[in-house]
Amino acid sequence: MPDSNQEASAGTKQNQVTQAVDQQIQGFEQQLQQKSNSELKEVATKLETVERNMLLQKIDSELQTIKETVVKPGDGAAATAGAAATVVNQKSNT
């Protein structure tokens, strides 16, 4: 028959094992959270890069449209320039 000292010793060992397991679980949770945060940051950076590139392409496209429709002094294409300005304004509103 086990005596009370053996039971107490077994209970202490069980508590130590439980604490060790809890600490490992907490460590794993922290590692997982850090990994998740770093992955989210990486995805956000990639999305920002894509968004910036798309915006630059849109700006380049609109600048090209403006360059193509600029009225040169003495040019008789004032009506065409007015129509082009309207198109540029409509594009920038979308």
pLDDT digit string (tens) for 9-38? 777 888 899 999 999 999 989 998 888 899
Domain that holds residue 17: 4-93
pTM: 0.46
> Could you give phi then psi for residue 75, rounded to 5 degrees?
-80, 140
Q: What is the mean pLDDT of the chain?
A: 80
| The two three-digit tokens of residue 33, written as one number | 């959270």
| Cβ(62)–Cβ(91) below 8 Å | yes
Count how many domains the chain has. 1
